[in-house]
């Protein structure tokens, strides 16, 4: 496929209500949207980097500059047979997995459309709907948290995930567990704890949680291994995992027992699929995490979660939980805790361009670099 041009946008989409985690409150989602054009088709992706480096080290400003000035100019005007060839072309770029994922995911959408196949089929998916849970941000009170958890359980969601932080953990979780009975409950600390808080973590270990997600530092598998050895509850790694190699190391050292795969965090669908396969080799389940994506990123996540080893409910809940209006025409809504895979070629959703234009803070068209003409002979 020949890549003709690309369009980068900076988009700001307001949330229906604030979403609070251990590292701050979000009132809206600002993200990079990439439209990639080739062979008369369009592929679309959504970057998951944040304004500030508070999740991983990448930022929107840095990713935009790298995409506009280096990554995209190096591929536009060229032909690529498949995503593997595209990523080999970019193999000299170290790190910056979120920026690379933005291009790789858009290419997958474009390539699948060129093949006339759904992305899930091209990836090797085995189901036409995926089980989903919800992620509940830190609420104003325990009562509000219990009410929200019960309401979502009644809607059929397969798992309730609670954001926690020191001081907002054991008492709140115990109340939610008592209200939900046997429904799986998990907690996500977003790296807010240390081994110095082992007593609190051991209390959480007594509550019958399905797993505890990323309790310790975002880049420290060693301490997670120490903690897992002391805990009955499985640990799940998120921020620590950016590659299949990270996955192998984490599972070999018993730093966790399952993996949260976020396709934008790990560099795209190719690496996400490799992580899936490595985890399967260790008999470790995986699930698809979310980054409060719009319908574009959410659709990519849904297609990825059709792979066989995604056996835990993911975070791709209904778009209407987050947005009064999404940037895609097609509704991405669950029924009974199951999210249908969007039909059609590629990711199966289309941009609502007039609405998107009202949310766009910046738009840049990127075209192939012109090669300089050879100097005339003297």
CATH number for the domain spanning 86: value is 3.30.390.10
pLDDT over 70 percentage in the chain: 98
Nearest to 317 by CA among 19, 32, 77, 9: 19
Same domain? 246 vs 278: yes
- Which pLDDT score is estimated for 20? 82
- Which pLDDT score is estimated for 371? 53
CB 41 within 8 Å of CB 337: no
Query: How many domains is the chain built from?
Result: 2
Distance CA 225, CA 222 (A): 5
3-class secondary structure, 191:
coil
3-class secondary structure, 16:
strand
- Which pLDDT score is estimated for 375? 39
Which residue did the predictor score with more confidence, 97 or 25?
Answer: 97
Whether 53 shows a pLDDT value over 60: the answer reads yes
pLDDT digits (tens, 9 = 90+) for 323-366: 999 999 999 999 999 999 999 999 999 999 999 999 999 999 99
- Which pLDDT score is estimated for 22? 74
What is the DSSP track for 80-112?
-SSHHHHHHHTTT--S-HHHHHHHHHHHHHHHH
Whether 23 shows a pLDDT value over 80: the answer reads no
What's the average model confidence in pLDDT over 22-26? 77
Please report whether residue 377 resides in a domain: no
Question: Cα Rg for the chain, rounded, in angstroms?
Answer: 21
- E strands of the chain, at which residues? 5-21, 24-38, 41-46, 129-131, 134-136, 160-163, 185-188, 212-213, 235-237, 258-261, 286-288, 338-340, 360-366
What's the average model confidence in pLDDT over 288-308? 97
Same domain? 111 vs 143: no
Nearest to 187 by CA among 168, 195, 197: 168
Please report whether residue 373 resides in a domain: no
Token pair in block for residue 358: 């009202």
Please report whether residue 345 resides in a domain: no
Same domain? 213 vs 75: no
Please report whether residue 145 resides in a domain: yes
Please report whether residue 371 resides in a domain: no
> Counting Cβ atoms within 10 Å, is residue 116 exposed (0-12), middle (13-18) or buried (19+)?
exposed
Token pair in block for residue 258: 């399952």
- Which pLDDT score is estimated for 318? 94
**CA 334 remoteness from chain centre:** 18
**CA 377 remoteness from chain centre:** 54
| Average pLDDT of every residue of the chain | 95
Distance CA 222, CA 250 (A): 9
Same domain? 101 vs 155: no
Same domain? 77 vs 138: no
What's the average model confidence in pLDDT over 298-312? 98
Q: What is the pTM of this model?
A: 0.95
Same domain? 282 vs 185: yes
* Confidence bin at 261 (pLDDT 50/70/90): very high
Whether 376 shows a pLDDT value over 60: the answer reads no
β-pairing verdict for 134-136 and 129-131: unpaired
Distance CA 30, CA 271 (A): 25
Whether 18 shows a pLDDT value over 90: the answer reads no
- Which pLDDT score is estimated for 113? 98
User: For tokens 């009064």, what's the residue?
Assistant: 324
Catalytic residues: 163, 262
Same domain? 25 vs 154: no
- E strands of 248-308, at which residues? 258-261, 286-288
Please report whether residue 293 resides in a domain: yes
What's the average model confidence in pLDDT over 355-378? 76
Same domain? 162 vs 220: yes
Which residue did the predictor score with more confidence, 19 or 105?
Answer: 105
Same domain? 90 vs 190: no
pLDDT digits (tens, 9 = 90+) for 76-120: 999 999 999 999 999 999 999 999 999 999 999 999 999 999 999
* Confidence bin at 167 (pLDDT 50/70/90): very high
Same domain? 204 vs 276: yes
- Which pLDDT score is estimated for 373? 39
Nearest to 241 by CA among 280, 212, 271: 271
Give me the CATH number covering residue 153.
3.20.20.120
What's the average model confidence in pLDDT over 155-176? 97
pLDDT digits (tens, 9 = 90+) for 120-159: 999 999 999 999 999 999 999 999 999 999 999 999 999 9
3-state secondary structure 301-337: HHHHCCCCCECCCECCCCHHHCCCCCCECCCCCCECC
Which residue did the predictor score with more confidence, 33 or 373?
Answer: 33
Question: For the chain, how long is the longest CA-to-CA vector?
Answer: 87
CB 147 within 8 Å of CB 160: no
Please report whether residue 256 resides in a domain: yes
- Which pLDDT score is estimated for 337? 96
Same domain? 244 vs 261: yes
Whether 372 shows a pLDDT value over 70: the answer reads no
Same domain? 211 vs 178: yes
Please report whether residue 376 resides in a domain: no
Domain that holds residue 102: 5-115+352-366
β-pairing verdict for 185-188 and 212-213: parallel
């Amino acid at each position: 496929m020949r890549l003709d041009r690309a369009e980068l946008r900076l988009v700001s989409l307001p949330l229906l209500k604030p979403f609070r985690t251990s590292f701050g409150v979000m009132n809206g989602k600002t993200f990079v949207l990439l439209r990639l054009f080739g062979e008369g088709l369009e592929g679309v992706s959504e970057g998951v980097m944040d304004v500030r480096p508070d999740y991983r080290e990448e930022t929107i400003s840095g990713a935009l500059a790298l995409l506009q000035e280096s990554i995209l100019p190096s591929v536009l005007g060229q032909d690529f047979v498949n995503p593997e060839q595209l990523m080999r072309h970019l193999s000299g770029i170290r790190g910056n997995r979120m920026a690379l994922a933005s291009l790789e995911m858009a290419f997958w959408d474009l390539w699948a459309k060129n093949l006339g196949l759904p992305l899930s089929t091209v990836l090797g998916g085995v189901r036409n709907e995926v089980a989903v849970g919800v992620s509940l941000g830190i609420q104003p009170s325990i009562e509000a948290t219990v009410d929200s958890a019960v309401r979502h359980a009644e809607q059929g969601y397969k798992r309730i995930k609670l954001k926690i932080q020191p001081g907002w953990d054991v008492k709140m979780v115990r109340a939610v567990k008592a209200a939900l009975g046997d429904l799986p409950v998990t907690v996500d600390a977003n790296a807010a704890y240390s081994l110095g808080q082992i007593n609190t973590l051991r209390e959480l270990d007594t509550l019958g949680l399905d797993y505890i997600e990323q309790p310790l530092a975002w880049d420290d598998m060693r301490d997670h291994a120490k903690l897992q050895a002391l805990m009955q509850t499985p640990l799940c790694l998120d921020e620590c995992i950016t590659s299949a190699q990270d996955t192998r190391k984490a599972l070999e050292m018993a730093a966790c027992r399952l993996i949260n795969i976020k396709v934008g965090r790990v560099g795209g669908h190719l690496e996400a699929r490799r992580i899936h396969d490595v985890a399967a080799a260790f008999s470790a389940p995986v699930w698809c995490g979310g980054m409060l994506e719009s319908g574009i990123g959410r659709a990519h996540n849904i297609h990825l979660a059709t792979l066989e080893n995604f056996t835990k409910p993911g975070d791709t809940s209904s778009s209407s939980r987050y947005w009064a209006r999404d940037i895609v025409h097609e509704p991405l809504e669950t029924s009974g805790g199951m999210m249908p895979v969007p039909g059609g070629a590629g990711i199966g959703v289309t941009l609502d361009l007039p609405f998107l234009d009202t949310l766009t803070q910046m738009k840049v068209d990127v075209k192939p670099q012109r090669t300089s003409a050879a100097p005339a002979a003297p």
